[in-house]
Amino acid sequence: MTDRAAVPAPTDLPGGPEVGPGPEGALLTVTGADRPGVTATLFAALEALGGEVVEVVDVEQVVVHGQLVLGVVVRGPGVAGGGALADRLAATAAEVAAATGLAVTTEPATATEPPERGPRHHVTVLGRPVPPAAVAGAAQAIAEVGGNIEAVRRLSDYPVTSFELTVSGAGSTQLRTALGAVAARTGTDVAVEQAGLVRRSKRLIVLDVDSTLVRGEVIDELAVRAGRAGEVAGITAAAMNGELDFEQSLRARVALLAGLPVGVLDEVREQLVLTPGARTLIRTLQRLGFRCGIVSGGFTQITDPLAAALGLDFAAANTLEVADGRLTGGLVGEIVDRAGKARALARFAAEHGIPLEQTVAVGDGANDLDMLAAAGLGIAFNAKPVVREQANAALNQPYLDAVLQVLGFTRDEVLDAG
């Protein structure tokens, strides 16, 4: 859908006279199979009416699977009142219909100003697939909280299907609560963001690593090699669910790795599997000018080479202590825990001169919560329930590049950036 274009009314022009609603308006609607030249033909015909008596005040056009809907509101004295100009406009519509083979209708359009729309939001519905029940449920939920759907557009059809609804007249909390129930009921994802320039002003993204950028948990893989898999997995699950203090749980798990040869770290790193869509997400955002990095409760011996391989701008993680070629079971340096992740995000943003409201954070565990809250947009990715409930948006799709649709990018824009 193209952006709405409007010419200000005479009363809005600097120095313009303070008059009433102004001349009458008429809506011309063109529908049918799209083809090159339709818009040009219509506006050329309107030009022939004379710019002094007819002005264009609104235009909106959309093409859905080759079918065009083009609406144009024109204004002029008597344009909708059955006078000579109205007759000429009707004749113009007939001429355009004959020239294009499309249907062209005219009807009166109100000359009064539209009502105040209230707050506006973008509601993104994602799924694989998106069932009709999800769209119907979203529309109903929006109406029940007093919202109005102004526009709908498809963002992507692969790897997930996603639609963006522009909604006015409802608050963020109301929408998230109502639409969260729809998402849970239909098995889809629904994200709500406030509309405005800030949405497209994002310039930095920080990704968690384990179970976000890569599949699985690195420390669990190390534990398998140390013969302590069961013990470590239990502590990891409790920590990610927010049941244990992260630093204490991290030190307890690392202690179980004591004695592992340092070469095991290389083995685990080489076997890492990126989450589907990870490379597409990073490559696309980098080409769009984003700063991209990772913040992990894992280990620099894993994350630093990974960041270098992906061409990332920054990385932060914990460092395993090594002595005589083996892990000691300890850590060195500052601990990157829940608070540490938020500090790292703020540090990276400051280093690149980017306000926090222009940042995005993506993670899955309870130790990501502070980072998600600090970012301008926090996205829970296949996250634990406590994280989904508190994040700005939650994605349960298996593809990390679905983040691009939450940011409002279409599939075509992703392909163009690639």
**Catalytic site positions:** 208, 210
Task: Residue 349: name the closest of 291, 284, 288 by CA.
Answer: 291
Q: How far apart are CA 282 and CA 286, in angstroms?
A: 6
Q: How far apart are CA 324 and CA 89, in angstroms?
A: 89
Task: Residue 11: name the closest of 22, 3, 1, 2 by CA.
Answer: 22
Residues 25/84, Cβ–Cβ less than 8 Å: no
What residue type is 167 in one-letter code? V
What does DSSP say about strands 67-75 and 103-109: parallel, antiparallel, or unpaired?
unpaired
Q: How far is CA 102 from the centre of its chain?
A: 36
Inter-CA distances, 233 with 17, 199, 223, 228, 268, Å: 74, 38, 8, 9, 16
Q: How far apart are CA 71 and CA 89, in angstroms?
A: 14
Q: How far apart are CA 205 and CA 203, in angstroms?
A: 7
Residues 169/117, Cβ–Cβ less than 8 Å: yes
Inter-CA distances, 4 with 49, 99, 150, 206, 366, Å: 23, 25, 11, 34, 42
Q: Which helix (H) or strand (E) holds 43?
A: helix 38-47
* DSSP character string of 233-261: HHHHHHHHTTSS-HHHHHHHHHHTTTT-B
Q: Count CB neighbours of 29 within 10 A.
A: 15
